[in-house]
Structure 1
Amino acid sequence: MPPRNDFSQCTAGDPKFWPAYIRHLALANICIMVFLANMYAAGITTGFADLAMEFHVSYAQLVDVISYPVLALGVGNVFWTPTAVCLGKRPTIIVAIIIFLAATIWTIKAATFQSLVASRILACFAGGSIDSLGPAIVADLYMERYFATAMAIFSIFLAGGSQIGPMIAGFIITAKGWRWFFILCAILIGVNLVLILLSLPETNYRRVMYDGETAQEADKVAVQMIEYKNEAVNAPVATTESTGSQAHNLNPPYSGSYWRDLVSFKNRGTEPRGLVEWPRQFSLPFRFILVPQVFFATISYGVFLGGAVIIATVAPQLLSPPPYLFKASGIGLFALSSFLGIVIAYPIAGPFTDYMSRFLRQRSHGETHIPEYRMPALLMPFLIAPPGLLLFAYTLAHGGSVYAAAAGYAMQVSALVFVPSVVLSVVVDGWPSTGSEALVLINAGKNAVAFGITLSIPTWLAMEGLIKMFWEMAAIQWAVLALAVPLYVLGPWARKKTFWLV
């Protein structure tokens, strides 16, 4: 269906051809939700001292307030994504954010430490739904050449929630107590719910995909279909006409208007049989375990998320006692400083990655699009992020300047924009029809990696000491990113060899 310029039917047809403001509104909604989910998950680290006094627990026990919710953020995707495939992304996100809001209210009322941890696990299980549905919506809405840019915007909100959230929490906890931070979260989640109800249309669209087809090749077919319908040419490309008619027959009829489309929930999943197919859809992401690009995305994202969580978890212990004597608000400001790493990384992580993909393709003079052409952009986090860990550790271990430690934190956190904008773009580009399934595995896996790292922090720190622990973490990050070199060279071959799996 040709793109609509009038608002009344602006969400008819392929979401990639909706008006720009509708697509940008949808992107804004998922960015707000992922920001709030990560703000909720990470913000409470600045209130560890208050929690320890109120619930009479040690700092080692307080790690549970972060580690298990981090795991829930990822594992929840294994449930939410097959539900979105069967029922639609819009109803799934609406249900998830309602549960997220209810669990946040439970957090406000929690009277015991166990109740607090349980409420946060449920809230992160629901709020984390957007971790994989968000990139899948980006892939629904934008052409391949904008993937990395749109993914970087999503990533900056995801990482921003983890870094700005503690600053907000720090000032609120200092002034009003830790419960008021979650009251603010509940208010903002409620506002986000209203916005989603009004301005997040269903983005699922059933497309005809061919074996081995990349997102760029699928986009070309979609554009040809639109041009054919708009110009009414008499000699369209045969595959274009066939694709257009097949795609039109696969999708339910349009509801008739924007507002009717918002409340049309029947047959909106990409799986026509609905919930009958849920068990099968649940099992599909695990096929990607043996796909090298997906495995690399999972591990690389996980180790850098783990590095950021390590700093966020140990910073209160290091900055609260002498010589720093930081209150919750000071610890929050320290966390905010790391956001500079995200701001600085964004213009490189998104546009530069897309530009590199186009440049390498032109230089190779090849007609085939190679998603792995984005991989060289990982040189930036290789050079910046692990040294940030070492700068943080050496500075605080020797009572040095807190500004230098904050710079190290910013260097590490910059990887949370660099790495996902590259590896997630490679996946959704290389597997456009099944990319959402791969994102489920990536998000569950990277949070499981971060969970394991976070849970080991008290023992690891006690056994190795601060500097040696951070050296080991930096070495792990360097080793993982080094795997990008063989993947860049052998990626196209590996994709062909593992195609039968997915």
Structure 2
Amino acid sequence: MRLHTLHDLDKTEGTVQLRHAADPSSSATTLVLFPPPSATDPNDPLRWPRWKKHTAFLSVCAFTFLTNYGIGGLAPAFYILSQEFDRSMAQTSDLLLWPILVLGAFNFLWVPLANYFGKRPVFVFCSGLLCACFLWGAVARSFESLLWSNIVAAFAGSSTEALGASIVNDLYFLHERGAKMGLYMNFISGGNTVGPLVCGLVITGLSWRWHKWIAVIFTAINFVTVLLFVPETRYYRDANEDRVDGERREGVLSSSTEHVEAQTEPKKTATVSETVEEEQSPPSTVPKKTWIRELSLWSGVAPDTNLLKMFIRPLPMFAYPCVIYAFLGYAVSLVLTVSVNILNPFVLQAPPYNWSPMINGLINLPGFIGNVAGSFAGGWLVDVFCDWRTRRNSGVFEPENRLYLGVLPLVITGTGCLLFGYGVEKTLHWTSLFFGYGMVSFALTAVPTITMAYVSDCVLPVNSDALMLVNGEAPFGCSSFSVMYMADLLQV
């Protein structure tokens, strides 16, 4: 029961032969499916029908969207809540800062539990608990009760932070990973943009409690979809086959530096691919699970391990450069967006703007547009760029290709920070704040999409552990920066 090194589990380090030439004299190439799906087991999530994959994935995406919708979406009501409960600006911001901290911290609980017992029981329990917490918040009669309802809701919603990203790797192939990760990140950030937009309209016509009631309705529906349409996606692949494939790919990479062998290598890869296709043709040797059986919350425990080992296993990855890089990128992009979310109600609902919460909520329109643009650039566009680089590299995919387009959020969001900050300082026209916030929001989806897909490529066998560290550390950094930021504001 010893701990294995990552090299024991996967010798490729994410560098794989993703394309091969069917004819050496032709420029046309054929895509290789990686990871290779099981040839004999129809229960392999990679072999599920497309509709089944998409339904399960979108149900989890809706779960994470509603978490942020119900908690972060309350931001336009902060000014009203501070008056209703007689709380200061800093105290009211606790409704967002503490849940963000909890969202990160309890990744360290849910991911080991899911690795050991399975993802499905975690998702089902937490989606039900989230609905109950929003119901609690809707009927809360004190500030402390509302705060604790948000904190416990964040405890439940934290289950989707890393596991939601991990499920992308369970259901989809490498060439689909960037686009799906971008879609997932758009659902996360969408809760923090669509939520405040809806909340601003709701509290103007009704009250902030109706924002919570709407969240209760949709989380109840989502609980049903998770219960019925999200089977267990944890799957154990043959380690020996993976190791052989890794050694074969290492042979490809070591010989690709020579021009002559680079021309002959696609023939070898084509032979391997044809062999895989032939192995998929025999009838399945494992019975396909029925829908009723897939509804079971129990799928067994992880073999040859124990729960304590699952909690200890991720800790060495704190020192992995790819994990550190992804955490820092996510934390910085998150703190910028959270800071603007906390600040804008106190700027736009106070003199000289004097906006109502409904009008204030409209600032989330450019935020939403920025999120969508960021997820597109960090997801689909990066996939296209990586495919172009792979074709130019004799069909060899390298995870580092994803990082080149990180220059886009660096330039766009950096400019947006200057525009928004200068606009607040000089009380410029509201359009400057809107454009600035839209540009700031670009990084919230672009940076995590790029970096988390990169981490998944590099450490695929333990991607859920690595993503747990990224999603767990980022909110800690965000909360720390935000607390210091609020302290500086109060001194101004």
TM-score normalised by structure 2 residue count = 0.83
Alignment of 1:37-436 (within 5 A): 37-209=67-239, 210=242, 227-232=277-282, 254=287, 256-263=289-296, 265-267=298-300, 269=301, 271-272=302-303, 277-365=306-394, 368-436=396-464
2:415, 2:187 → 1: CA distance? 24
- Give RMSD over aligned pairs: 2.7
Cα deviation, 1:35-82, whole Å, max 9, x if unaligned, reads 111112211111012211221111111111111000111112111111
1:397/1:264 CA distance change after superposition, 3 Å: closer
Cα deviation, 1:111-149, whole Å, max 9, x if unaligned, reads 222222112111011112111111111100000011000
1:436/1:418 CA distance change after superposition, 3 Å: same
Q: Deviation at 1:208?
A: 3.0
Q: Is 2:483 the counterpart of 1:452?
A: no
Q: Deviation at 1:226?
A: 5.7
2:133, 2:340 → 1: CA distance? 27
Q: Say if 1:69 and 1:121, in contact at 8 Å, map to a contact too.
A: yes
1:221, 1:80 → 2: CA distance? 42
Cα deviation, 1:386-443, whole Å, max 9, x if unaligned, reads 2111111111221212122111101111112211111011111111110100011110
Q: Secondary structure at the match of 1:263?
A: coil
Q: Secondary structure at the match of 2:379?
A: helix
1:350/1:282 CA distance change after superposition, 3 Å: same
Q: Say if 1:63 and 1:455, in contact at 8 Å, map to a contact too.
A: no
Q: Deviation at 1:272?
A: 2.4
Q: Deviation at 1:255?
A: 6.2
1:416/1:307 CA distance change after superposition, 3 Å: same
Q: Say if 2:374 and 2:444, in contact at 8 Å, map to a contact too.
A: no
Q: Say if 2:43 and 2:288, in contact at 8 Å, map to a contact too.
A: no
1:12, 1:177 → 2: CA distance? 50
1:311, 1:129 → 2: CA distance? 26
Aligned twin of 1:470: none
Q: Secondary structure at the match of 2:289?
A: coil
2:249, 2:59 → 1: CA distance? 28
TM-score normalised by structure 1 residue count = 0.81
Q: Say if 2:39 and 2:279, in contact at 8 Å, map to a contact too.
A: no
Q: Secondary structure at the match of 2:232?
A: coil
Query: How much identity, in percent, do the aligned residues show?
Result: 29
1:397/1:212 CA distance change after superposition, 3 Å: farther
1:212/1:403 CA distance change after superposition, 3 Å: farther
Q: Deviation at 1:211?
A: 6.4
The residue identity in structure 1 corresponding to 2:187 is F
2:318, 2:271 → 1: CA distance? 30
1:341/1:319 CA distance change after superposition, 3 Å: same
The residue identity in structure 2 corresponding to 1:125 is F
2:352, 2:292 → 1: CA distance? 59
Q: Deviation at 1:30?
A: 1.2
Cα deviation, 1:237-260, whole Å, max 9, x if unaligned, reads xxxxxxx9xxx8xxxx65631232
Q: Say if 2:378 and 2:445, in contact at 8 Å, map to a contact too.
A: yes
Q: Say if 1:103 and 1:120, in contact at 8 Å, map to a contact too.
A: yes
Q: Secondary structure at the match of 2:460?
A: coil
1:461, 1:57 → 2: CA distance? 16
1:179, 1:413 → 2: CA distance? 27
Q: Say if 1:25 and 1:199, in contact at 8 Å, map to a contact too.
A: yes
The residue identity in structure 1 corresponding to 2:409 is P
1:226/1:34 CA distance change after superposition, 3 Å: farther
Q: Deviation at 1:346?
A: 3.3
Return 31-40 or 337-346, whichever deviates more.
337-346
Aligned twin of 2:12: none
Q: Deviation at 1:187?
A: 0.8
Aligned twin of 1:12: 42
1:44/1:217 CA distance change after superposition, 3 Å: farther
Q: Deviation at 1:3?
A: 8.2
Higher relative contact order (CA 8 A, sep 6+): 2
Q: Say if 2:348 and 2:355, in contact at 8 Å, map to a contact too.
A: yes
1:190/1:52 CA distance change after superposition, 3 Å: same
Structure 1 residue ranges without an equivalent (≥5): 5-10, 234-243, 466-502
Cα deviation, 1:362-401, whole Å, max 9, x if unaligned, reads 3344x65321111001010011012111111111221212
The residue identity in structure 1 corresponding to 2:317 is F
1:153, 1:140 → 2: CA distance? 15
2:347, 2:123 → 1: CA distance? 38
Q: Secondary structure at the match of 1:324?
A: coil
The residue identity in structure 2 corresponding to 1:329 is M
Return 221-230 or 381-390, whichever deviates more.
221-230
Q: Secondary structure at the match of 1:57?
A: coil
Return 152-161 or 341-350, whichever deviates more.
341-350
Q: Deviation at 1:223?
A: 7.2
Aligned twin of 1:488: none
1:16, 1:221 → 2: CA distance? 22
